[in-house]
């Protein structure tokens, strides 16, 4: 039989078409069903033994916490999108990060972490790393000071690119080359890219973490983290997950599986909306700066063009000529932006950022009134009107700078 050559398909197509299927008498559902199970039954003792023998290397259904068909289906889809060997799911994005630290680092090790890291990782550093004798040094989000901060006991580099709040980028292929020279593991938080806009594993990282809570689920109704690794890095993570009994609910996996099918379409709408709003904000008299890597004025815009496939709904602004009370009034006067943390859902959000707490290497104390916006799937012209009226109520400038 001659094999049919499939044309290579785009990410958007594989998001829709990739799937594990269950066949029933008659036909099959489009999505894999929710399989709820603790006990798994076998046809014979021999069947049970052979399944258990294969479960460290194969995706076999042997016990509720050791993976089930719904979770495997989501793991396979994320692994495919991330370009990795395998994926493991966690109850939250932060739990995924914590398990990565637990799995790969030991007392006495030294880790280098980007200063643009998701802020709760700093709690992991003070409450976990310090307690277990793992030392941490922060490096500039662009990575310019990274190599000289490497020590004899260094074991890993943790990057977040684009970084939290200001979206600084590092040259990941270059960092991966430095890491190979010093035998360091490269871990990337890829929540910004969410397996569709950025691909750390394809750029040389060993481990990629995505908070599926955000864009993969897309509906602000589920918490989940996903860690995808290269083949070489897999067994270390896998063993520690098995040791800790780490698993997620198949109901939650189902929600993410359902959400992820519209990821490509949603992300394009988030991106278009964010660019419309960013361009309007950039011309507003009360806006000192708009941070977004897709804007030509962003310091790593060229790196973003080289390594990212578009942007998402995130924008950060720094306001000017408004006092603390006026900024509060501005936020409270918005009708279409929810006041809340997290992002990646279909709705627009706004949240103030404390740059002094978020960063430790650079003094951002002069950077007050920094607000992070998530542009949802609403009509961006409505969002612009909402921002305009909120500036007016706050006593800000009503007309545009030219």
Ligand X SMILES: *Cc1c(COP(=O)(O)O)cnc(C)c1O
Rg (CA), the chain: 22
Residue nearest to ligand X (CB): 93
Which pair of structure tokens corresponds to residue 39? 């006990």
Cα–Cα dist 353/142, whole Å? 20
Shortest distance (Å) from residue 190 CB to ligand X: 8
Q: How far is the CB of 39 from ligand X (least distance, A)?
A: 29
Note whether 92 binds ligand X by CB under 6 A. yes
Helix (H) or strand (E) holding 79: helix 69-82
Q: Supply 52's token pair.
A: 């258990």
From the list 92-100, 178-186, 194-202, 365-373, the region that binds ligand X by CB under 6 A is: 92-100
Choose, by CB under 6 A, the member of 187, 205, 223, 383 that binds ligand X.
Answer: 223
Residue 213 to residues 28, 100, 111: CA-CA distances in angstroms? 28, 17, 26
Question: Residue 95 in contact with residue 214, Cβ under 8 Å?
Answer: no
The smaller minimum CB distance to ligand X, of residues 62 and 92, is found at 92
Q: Which stretch binds ligand X (CB under 6 A): 74-82, 138-146, 206-214, 379-387?
A: 206-214
Among 68, 191, 230, 394, binds ligand X (CB under 6 A): 191
211 near ligand X, rule: CB under 6 A = yes
Q: Is 278 helix (H, G, I), strand (E, B) or coil?
A: helix
Choose the stretch contacting ligand X; rule: CB under 6 A; options: 49-57, 87-95, 177-185, 287-295: 87-95
Q: Which helix (H) or strand (E) holds 351?
A: strand 349-353
Nearer to ligand X, 117 or 390 (CB): 117
Report the residue number, 116 or 322, with the smaller CB distance to ligand X. Answer: 116
Binding mask 119-158 for ligand X (x = CB under 6 A): ----------------------------------------
Distances in Å between the Cα of 80 and the Cα atoms of 166, 195, 202, 209, 282 are: 29, 9, 11, 14, 37
363: number of Cβ within 10 Å:
10
**What residues contact 298, with CB distance under 8 A and at least 6 apart?**
167, 291, 292, 304
- Find the binder of ligand X among 67, 69, 84, 93 (CB under 6 A): 93
Q: Which is nearer to ligand X, 115 or 160 (CB)?
A: 160
| 78 within 8 A of 261, measured Cβ to Cβ | no
Per-position x/- string for 327-366, each x denoting binding to ligand X as judged by CB under 6 A, each - no binding = ---------------x------------------------
Between 357 and 392, CB nearer to ligand X: 357
Cβ 358 to ligand X shortest distance, Å: 12
* Binding pattern for the stretch 164-183 against ligand X, x by CB under 6 A and - elsewhere: x-------------------
Transcribe 143-197 into DSSP letters. -TTTGGG--TTEEEEEEESSPTTT-----HHHHHHHHHHTT-EEEEE-TTTTTTS
Stretch touching ligand X by CB under 6 A, among 75-83, 90-98, 293-301, 376-384: 90-98
Binding site for ligand X (CB under 6 A): 92-94, 118, 160, 164, 189, 191, 211, 213-214, 223, 225, 342
């Amino acid at each position: 039989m001659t094999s049919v050559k499939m044309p290579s398909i785009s990410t958007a197509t594989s998001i829709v078409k990739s799937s594990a299927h269950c066949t029933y008498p008659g036909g099959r559902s489009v999505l894999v069903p929710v399989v709820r199970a603790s006990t798994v039954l076998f046809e014979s003792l021999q069947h049970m033994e052979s399944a258990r023998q294969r479960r460290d290397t194969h995706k076999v259904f042997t016990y509720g916490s050791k993976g089930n068909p719904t979770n495997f289906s989501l793991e396979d889809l994320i692994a495919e999108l991330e370009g990795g060997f395998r994926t493991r799911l966690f109850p939250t994005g932060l739990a995924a990060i914590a398990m990565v630290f637990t799995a790969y680092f030991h007392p006495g090790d030294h880790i280098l972490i980007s200063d643009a890291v998701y802020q709760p990782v700093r709690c992991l550093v003070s409450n976990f790393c310090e307690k277990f004798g793992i030392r941490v040094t922060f490096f500039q989000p662009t990575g310019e000071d990274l190599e000289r901060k490497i020590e004899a006991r260094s074991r890993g580099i943790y990057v977040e690119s684009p970084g939290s709040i200001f979206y600084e980028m590092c040259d990941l292929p270059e960092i991966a080359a430095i890491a190979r020279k010093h035998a360091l593991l490269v871990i990337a938080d890829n929540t910004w890219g969410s397996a569709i806009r950025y691909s750390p594993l394809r750029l040389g990282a060993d481990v990629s973490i995505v908070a599926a809570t955000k864009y993969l689920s897309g509906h602000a109704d589920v918490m989940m983290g996903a860690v995808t690794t290269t083949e070489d890095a897999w067994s270390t993570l896998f063993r520690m997950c098995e040791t800790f009994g780490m698993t997620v609910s198949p109901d939650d996996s189902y929600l993410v599986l359902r959400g992820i099918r519209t990821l490509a379409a949603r992300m394009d709408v988030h991106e278009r909306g964010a660019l419309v709003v960013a361009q309007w904000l950039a011309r507003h008299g009360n806006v000192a700066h708009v941070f977004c890597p897709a804007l030509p004025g962003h310091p790593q815009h060229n790196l973003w063009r080289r390594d990212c496939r578009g942007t998402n709904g995130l924008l950060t602004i720094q306001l000017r000529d408004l006092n603390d009370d006026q900024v509060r009034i501005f936020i409270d006067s918005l009708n279409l932006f929810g006041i809340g943390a997290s992002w990646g859902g279909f709705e627009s959000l706004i949240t103030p950022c404390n740059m002094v707490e978020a960063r430790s290497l650079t003094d951002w104390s002069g950077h007050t009134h920094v607000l992070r916006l998530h542009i949802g799937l609403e009509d961006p012209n409505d969002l612009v009107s909402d921002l305009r009226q909120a500036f007016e109520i706050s006593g800000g400038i009503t007309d545009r700078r030219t």
